[in-house]
Each structure stands twice: as structure tokens, then as C-alpha cells.
Structure 1
Amino acid sequence: MLTLSVTQSAPTSPASSAAPTPESNPWPALWALVIGFFMILVDLTIVTVATPTIIEDLDASVNDVVWVTSAYMLAYAVPVLITGRLGDRFGSKYLYLAGLTVFTLASLWCGLTTTVEALILARVVQGFGAAMMTPQTMAIITRIFPPAQRGSAMAVWGATAGVAMVVGPILGGVLTDGLGWEWIFFINLPVGLVAFAMAWRLVPALPTHEHRFDWLGVALSGVAMFLLCFGIQEGHQMEWAPWIIAMIAGGLALLVTFVVWQRLNRAEPLVPLSLFKDRNFSVSNVAIACMGSIGASFGFPLMLYAQAVRGDSPTEAALLMLPMAVMSIFLAQPVGKLTDRLHPRQVLGFGFAISLVGFLLLLWRLEPGIAVWEIAAPMAVIGIGNAFIWAPTAATANRNLPMHLAGAGAGVFNAVRQVGSVLGAAAIAVLMDARLAHYLPGAAAHGEAGAAKIPDPHIAELFSKAMQQSLWLPAIMYAVGLVAVLFYEKPRHEGFGAH
């Protein structure tokens, strides 16, 4: 059915597996890729803690600043399906380096902007750079590691995503407090240069092969995602005007058209639907979409609560997430080893269940005047659960796929994660706007959720309720993920269950 499978049965087939020779060591290449991958994922959440400061400095609304993150996510999500194929065609290493260059230069642009509109535009370009990089990291890892080590390597890749989601706000708080919000972007310049030098030297240039690019699929998926996300995020602000409803309906219609076209396309579809015949790949995509949504959504209400209600500085607010980061980092290695031995239903079921418990504890106690430990303890519980989700999901997603579909699988997996992030950010903006409008009419529209503490105790209590209720969105997504991972089947890879 797919030209891809025919192409790779030709002389390029050995290159597709690209198992390293006995004397080669693929781990230095992995660490080189992880630096760049970590940087682009940190930028998904680093803005959240700086939100109140950016609102104040650029005279923006809450919704405007959420778009600073949403624009990045949307520009990241839409091209990521095609950039995976471009890497196969022109070389994964070189597309990664090109994307890293675009991302780093766009980071400089972000830090130099003086209006929220210019910042959003710069973040779009930054997102395109990230979209060029991400599929290459997963595809290169799949090709350079032998099957016996691939699970451990993908566990590192997945753990990097999980740790980056919580390190972002902490790093953002320290930089915003110490140097100004612009430095959450300027920090990418030295990191980008180091990542480029390491990747140039350590990442191998793998053989390439021809592709027929599904440009119609790119257009359909891109326009559908833009219409859906813009409509959802702006709906409350525009009071769900008929044209907003039309945008959302049009996005859904184009999404259905995209799926139908992928099925009818007999050449080489953008998303080979045969991937989803593997149940574990399908379940992993549901799980990672939930985690993308959670990672993009829960930071905004929590950071606004910490700074506007508690009066925390950006650094103090970000440090509330430190227990979550510590547990995720501490458990990454032991959990990674479990992915080769235990049924993914056990590992991820435990992870989602524990994270949900921790999040419900956080929701229960999120009120004005609570002690720091009453936030830190649930965050630690959430961190334990997340450690059992990020790496195992990434390791399980491509485990059963044939090598000739590894690149396509990497593109789909990353696109789905980003789609979840985009929709999560859009939905949390709607919820925060709606709850603030309910409790404090005019606060969201006029940017009154600034960096300063709210002096009136009654208003602080109402603001706290608005943020607390907004956090039900990520709690629900943890519950959805828990149900989804119960449908995992036993992995089929060689050596499963061996000690």
C-alpha cells in the first residue's frame, strides 16, 4: 500500500535499520540530541511562570500571553508530520541542525521584542525550528541503536520530555527574577551553540531515501489545526460568535477530510493509517496526547495563583514545582529499566493513577494561606506518577513497529503530543477566562492578573477559586489517560520479561 515500504525494501533497507557496528557507540549521539531536544521542550513551559510579568511589561491580557505559548505549540505541531519525512529524504542530521539554527535565532528575536504581537510572531518561527528538530531525534535513535538497547535509549528520550516539562517553569522563574523575562529566550543562544557543535561532531549522517510528499495532507492537517485551536482559544473572548463556531466546525470537517484522504492516498500518505493497527502504538498516542495537554495547561493557573494570591516571586512560584522535577529525575533511570521487563499496562496504569491522586490532592488544598508543604507534597506525588508515564510511553509507542515505519511513527507520535499541547493550552485559556469572568468580571480582559499580589483578601479568594476550578482540566486528562493505558497489550519484542 505504501511507497515507503517498497522504497525501503530496495538497497536502502540496511540503512533504515542502521544498526551500529560492534565497535561503535551510539550513546554519545543520543546525549548530543538530548541537549537540543531538552531545550525545545523547556520552551513549551518556560513561559508559564513569566506570564504575570509579561502581562505587566507588555500591557497584555491573560489570553494574549497564553497565545505566546499556543503560537509556539501550533507552529511546532502542524509541520512535524512532514518534517519527519524531510529528514528521511535529505538527512535527519542535517534537518536537525537546520532546525536548531532556526530555533536559536528565533530565540534571540523573542528576547528582543517589545510588543506581545511581535513576541507571538517570533514564537511561531521558533516553533517551526522545533518542528524540524523533534522527529529527527526519535528517528535517529531508532536507527542507530540495536534492538537490545533501543528500549533504554527511548526511555532516556521520553524521560527528557518529562523532566523538561517541569524544569521549564523553574528555570523560567529563576531567569525572570534575576535577569528579566527576556532571558528565558536569551538562554537558548549558548545552549543552541553547544548543541549544534555536539550534534555536528557526534551524530552520524545516515543514508537517505526518496519520498512522495503528501502536500495535500499537510495543507488539510495544518488548516484544520489552526481553525480548531484559534476557534477554541478565542471563543470565550468573542462570546462564541457565529464565525467562531464556523471556524471550529470547519476545522473538524477538514480533520475528517484529512483522515479520509490518508486512507484514500495510495502513494505515500502523511499519516500511514496502518500504524494504528498496532494497539500499543494507538494507546501510546492517546496517552501522550493527554500528557501534552497536561504539560501545556496546568502551569498557567498554578503560576498565576502562586504569584497573584500567595505573593510569590517568579522564582518562588516556580520552586513549588521542584518536588515534581526531583521525583521525575530521580526515578527516570529505574523506571526506564522496567519498560523492558514489565507489561506497559502495569507501569503506565500505576503512573496515571498516582498522578491523578496527587493532582486531586493539589486541587483540594489550593486555597489562599495554605502552607508550602501542602503544595509540595502533592507535587511530589505527581512527579512520581509522571516518571512512570513519559519514558514508558515513548519506549512502548514504536516498540512493535517495523523498522520501515519507524520514521513515520516518530512523526505521528510527536505530532499527537504537540496537538495535545496545543489543545490543552487553548482549553486552559478558555477555562481561565471563563472562571475569571465569573468571579472577577473584567480581570482577564484588562490584564489584572499581573505580577503583584492581590491586596484584597476577598478578591484573592475569588481569584484562587477561578484558578482552582481551571485545574480540573488536567485532572480530567489524567483520568482519560488512565482509562486508555488499561488497553495496552503484551509487547512482542524479543527478550520481554527477561531480568
Structure 2
Amino acid sequence: MHQRPAARRDTALWTLIIASAAGFMAALDNLVVTTALPSIREDLGGGLGDLEWTVSAYTLTFAVLLMLGAALGDRFGRRLLFTIGLCVFTAASAGAALAPGMEALIAARAVQGLGAAIMMPLTLTLLSAAVPPERRGVAFGVWGAVNGLAVAAGPLIGGTLTEHLSWQWIFWVNVPLGAVLVPLALLRLDESRGPFPRLDLPGTALVSTGLFGIVYGLIRGNGDGWTSAPVLGGLIGGTLLIAAFVGYETRAVNPMLPMRLFRGRAFSAVNAASLLMFVGMFGSIFLLSQFLQDVGGYSPMEAGVRMLPWTAMPMIAAPVAGALSDRFGGQPVVVTGLLFQATGLALLALVVSPDLSYPELIPSLVVSGLGMGFFFAPTAGLVMSSVRPEEQGIASGSNNALREVGGALGVATMSAVFSAQGGYTSARAFVDGLTPALWTGTAAVLLAAVAAALVPRHTGRVRDKDAPHQDPVTA
């Protein structure tokens, strides 16, 4: 029985509100922890490796389980799995706030990532099912704007809560939101299902354990020694498992990541660019937020405010990037954005010093922020237009997952460079480690620009007009 138009509009509005709020929570927890890291280290102890895991445990589980979460929703019911994911995320947030030590905090962050991986992709499929095609562009635009706001405000919200309450409140804030959203989801969302493919559990296990091994090896390398058995085992074993994952996915009937998509130059290039961009960007923000507090002497909230020229600039640059993409195509805009981002990181590497004043940082932060805005806005169109329409959902999920993997690898890789050359013992030691780490991030983003330059120039110019039918998870 079909709903009346008024009832459909009501359902669509509630779905938009619930999906946007849930997306805000999941996106916020990517960066909200960064400005709280010094306070967490002071309160719970632990070293650089423990701080890396508080970030990477979330991004890694989020990345490798995201496509499985979408498949579970299609198979067992999107409203049901969305609600389960929301409950898991909310409960894990409370667990993180109550964590008595670093091990418990890292475990809770991993469970948070599991909840986000189930919840986040279903926000989009629920929206697609509830909103008429002619209004999806507006609905997806609102969803994307709310998620962008969460990313931009993450360091500021984290710093403000840490300074005026305690670091635990960056996690407690999710609990009342989740407690409100769960009953709303059960009462206001319509149940829907998609195709019923077989779940790719072997593929999920291979990629999860492989990525864990690589990240573990990178994080423990400096502390345990790069030739130690656990580190070599993690790096070599993880690489072999990733190779086995690629081989298995090539032959699987229902692969979580269809390797055939990567035969297209456009799809391969834009995903390589996304992964490398997040390596440089995420690792740099992880270290810079600590530099502002440990070396600059700023409070957590002050550090969050001073990160805004970087994290909030995409809100200004994205509309400009969208207009330029419509006129010239997405590829040159993405390449320009990556060159801006690389220039910003290089400027940071050139100016950081123990006695650096904040005004000296502003130009590099603004240039980096412009780069992010020019990169994010057209990337969704490039991903979508690089595959057939029926493949856009899995293509979007793949791109989002690879970006999260890039974030985890960026934190691990740049922290390994940081701890090999410096440390927390003094301002001079911090800068000695930060400078080569920023150059590493610069190199990663320059490689991303090279990859993006391989995307055919015409990609995205035709199908960008079909935006209402696109899944903007990469926006």
C-alpha cells in the first residue's frame, strides 16, 4: 500500500534528519579525538603508538567493515541494521568515556568503528529509498554539508569539550544523541531491503587482518625495532594477506571489492589519489594538533580554533570547486587541489620551529584548506562517472573505504617517521620529528596529484549532471 504524498514527505524529512544526525556522529569521531590526544596521554599514560591506535582503531575498522555493513543492511533490513549500528556506536562511545586505560580506550574505539561501518553507509541507502528521485540532490546535499561540518568542527569540538569539561566528553556527547536517535529510527524510518548477495566473509577477514598487520608493523617499528619478529611478521604477513585478498576477490562470485572496477584507468587513478591524499592529510593533522599544544602552548580549545583555517576552508572552497568542475571537468580541479594541499604541507615543513608564532602558520593552513576543498568537491563525480550506473554504489563505498584506510596508514607512517627522528621530550625534539613527517606527507600528496593527472580529462563532465542519482558518500 502506497503512502499518501504528505506521509511520504514526512517520512523523507524524518529520514533526512535521522540520517544526517547519525552521519554527523560518525564523521565527527574521525577528527574529534585529535585535539584531545595530549590530555589523553597525560591522563592515561602510554606513548605515541597508543595515541596512534586511538585514531587508527576507529578508522581501520570503519574502513574494512564499511562495505560489509552495507551488504548486511541490504540482506537483513536497512532500518534494523542501521539501528543496531547506532546502538553499537553509542554503547562503544560510553565505553570509551569510561575507559580506565589505553587498552580499554583503543578497544572501545575499534567497536565504535564497527558501529560506524554498519550505520554510515545505510544512512545513504535509507535516504535513497525514502526521498523521491527529483529531491535526492537536495537531500544528499544537506547530508554532505552536515558531514562536512562534522569534519571541519571535529578538532574545535574536541578541544572545547576537553578544555572545559574533560576528554571523556568527546565520547559522552554521542550518548544522548544516540539515545534520541534509536527510538526515532524505529518509529520514523521505513524498512527497506536491497539485493540479497552472499556475504563476502573470507574477503572481509583477509583485508581486515592484512591491514591490521601492516598498521601494527608501522606503529611498532621504531619501538620494537624494524627487524624484530612481531614487526616483520606484521608487515610481511599483512602484505601477503592483502595480496591473497586481491587474488580471492578476482575469483569471488560476490566480492566485497570487485577487482574488475580497477581495470578502468579513471577508477584506479582516482582511488589511488584518494588513498594517498588521506595518507598525507590525516597524518599531518594528527601531528599538527599535538604540535599546537605541546610546542605552541595552546589549550585544547585554542588549538582547535587555530586549526580552522585548514579544516573549515573546504566549506568555502567547495562551492567554487563545484562550479569550476561543471565548466572544466573534475580532473583538473582535483589535480589543482592536490597541488595546493602539497604546497600547504611543504610550507608547514619549512616554517615549523620551537618558537613559531601562529601568524606564521596561517598561510600554510589556508593553502592546505583550499586544497582539501578543491579535492573533495569533484571527487565524488569522478568516482561515479568512472563506472557504470549499476556499479555506483559499490564504487562509492570502495572509495570511502580506501580513504579511511589512507587515514590509518597516514597516521601510522608519519608517526613512524616522527618517532624515528624526534619525540615528546622537548620542543626541539618534537620539531625534529615533525619536519620530516610533514615532508613525507607532502610526498604522498604529490604522488596523489600524479595519480589524479592520469584520470582522463572527460571523466565526470557528463554524469555530474545526474547528481540526484549519485551516492555522495565520497563527498
Q: Say which of 332, 335, 352 aligns to 1:349.
A: 335
Residue matched to 1:463:
430
- 2:222 counterpart letter in structure 1: H
Moved more, 399-408 or 74-83: 399-408
Q: Provide TM-score, normalisation by structure 2.
A: 0.87
- 2:301 counterpart letter in structure 1: T
Residue matched to 1:4:
none
Q: Say which of 360, 364, 378 aligns to 1:378.
A: 364
What count of residue pairs does the alignment treat as equivalent? 459
Q: 1:350 to 1:141 in 2, by over 3 A?
A: farther
Q: Does structure 2 retain, via aligned residues, the 8 Å contact 1:71–1:123?
A: yes
Residue matched to 1:476:
443
State the Cα distance separating 1:234 from its structure 2 match.
0.9
Task: Tell me, in whole angstroms, the C-alpha distance in 1 between the residues paired with 2:13 and 2:337.
Answer: 27
Q: Does structure 1 retain, via aligned residues, the 8 Å contact 2:15–2:188?
A: yes
> Would you say 1:167 and 2:134 are equivalent positions?
no
Task: Tell me, in whole angstroms, the C-alpha distance in 1 between the residues paired with 2:130 and 2:361.
Answer: 42
Q: Does structure 2 retain, via aligned residues, the 8 Å contact 1:309–1:460?
A: yes
Show CA shifts across 1:350-394 (max 9, x none): 211222222222222111323222112321221122111123212
Residue matched to 2:472:
none
Show CA shifts across 1:262-302 (max 9, x none): 1122x212212222244433333223212332343112321
- 1:280 counterpart letter in structure 2: A
Task: Tell me, in whole angstroms, the C-alpha distance in 2 between the residues paired with 1:475 and 1:184.
Answer: 30
Runs of 5+ consecutive residues of structure 1 not aligned to the other structure: 1-19, 437-442, 449-458
> Would you say 1:244 and 2:231 are equivalent positions?
yes
Residue matched to 1:255:
242
Task: Tell me, in whole angstroms, the C-alpha distance in 1 between the residues paired with 2:273 and 2:129.
Answer: 24
Show CA shifts across 1:93-127 (max 9, x none): 33222211110111011111121111111111111
State the Cα distance separating 1:24 from its structure 2 match.
5.4
Task: Tell me, in whole angstroms, the C-alpha distance in 2 between the residues paired with 1:370 and 1:87.
Answer: 50
Residue matched to 1:62:
48
Q: How does 1:340-489 map to 2 (within 5 A)?
A: 340-436=326-422, 448=425, 459-489=426-456
Moved more, 163-172 or 275-284: 275-284
Q: Does structure 2 retain, via aligned residues, the 8 Å contact 1:158–1:391?
A: no
Moved more, 224-233 or 290-299: 290-299
State the Cα distance separating 1:206 from its structure 2 match.
3.0
Task: Tell me, in whole angstroms, the C-alpha distance in 1 between the residues paired with 2:270 and 2:187.
Answer: 33
Residue matched to 1:130:
116
Q: Does structure 2 retain, via aligned residues, the 8 Å contact 1:176–1:183?
A: yes
- 2:431 counterpart letter in structure 1: S
Q: 1:362 to 1:145 in 2, by over 3 A?
A: farther
Residue matched to 1:232:
218
- 1:424 counterpart letter in structure 2: G
Q: 1:363 to 1:325 in 2, by over 3 A?
A: same
Indicate the percent of aligned positions where both proteins have the same amino acid: 34
Moved more, 337-346 or 423-432: 337-346
Task: Tell me, in whole angstroms, the C-alpha distance in 2 between the residues paired with 1:155 and 1:483.
Answer: 29
Q: How does 1:168-247 map to 2 (within 5 A)?
A: 168-196=154-182, 199-200=185-186, 204-240=190-226, 241-247=228-234
Residue matched to 1:83:
69
Q: Does structure 2 retain, via aligned residues, the 8 Å contact 1:263–1:273?
A: yes
Q: Does structure 1 retain, via aligned residues, the 8 Å contact 2:329–2:461?
A: no
Q: 1:35 to 1:389 in 2, by over 3 A?
A: farther
Task: Tell me, in whole angstroms, the C-alpha distance in 1 between the residues paired with 2:325 and 2:174.
Answer: 32
Task: Tell me, in whole angstroms, the C-alpha distance in 2 between the residues paired with 1:347 and 1:307.
Answer: 34
Residue matched to 1:439:
none
Q: Does structure 2 retain, via aligned residues, the 8 Å contact 1:432–1:466?
A: yes
State the Cα distance separating 1:324 from its structure 2 match.
2.0
- 1:230 counterpart letter in structure 2: Y
Moved more, 323-332 or 177-186: 323-332
Task: Tell me, in whole angstroms, the C-alpha distance in 1 between the residues paired with 2:127 and 2:82.
Answer: 13
- 1:467 counterpart letter in structure 2: L
- 2:54 counterpart letter in structure 1: V
- Please state whether the residue corresponding to 1:79 is helix, strand or coil: helix
Q: 1:160 to 1:211 in 2, by over 3 A?
A: same
Q: Does structure 2 retain, via aligned residues, the 8 Å contact 1:156–1:391?
A: no
Q: Does structure 1 retain, via aligned residues, the 8 Å contact 2:273–2:451?
A: yes
Q: 1:340 to 1:39 in 2, by over 3 A?
A: farther
Residue matched to 1:113:
99
Q: Quick check: which one's helix share is greater?
A: 2
Task: Tell me, in whole angstroms, the C-alpha distance in 2 between the residues paired with 1:341 and 1:48.
Answer: 37
State the Cα distance separating 1:170 from its structure 2 match.
1.3
Show CA shifts across 1:54-90 (max 9, x none): 1111122122122111112222222223222112212
State the Cα distance separating 1:203 from its structure 2 match.
5.0
Moved more, 254-263 or 91-100: 91-100
Task: Tell me, in whole angstroms, the C-alpha distance in 1 between the residues paired with 2:190 and 2:428.
Answer: 56
State the Cα distance separating 1:53 from its structure 2 match.
1.1
State the Cα distance separating 1:342 from its structure 2 match.
3.7
State the Cα distance separating 1:197 from its structure 2 match.
5.6
State the Cα distance separating 1:495 from its structure 2 match.
7.1
Task: Tell me, in whole angstroms, the C-alpha distance in 2 between the residues paired with 1:97 and 1:282.
Answer: 34
Q: 1:197 to 1:383 in 2, by over 3 A?
A: farther
> Would you say 1:283 and 2:285 are equivalent positions?
no
- Please state whether the residue corresponding to 2:313 is helix, strand or coil: helix
Task: Tell me, in whole angstroms, the C-alpha distance in 2 between the residues paired with 1:179 and 1:89.
Answer: 42
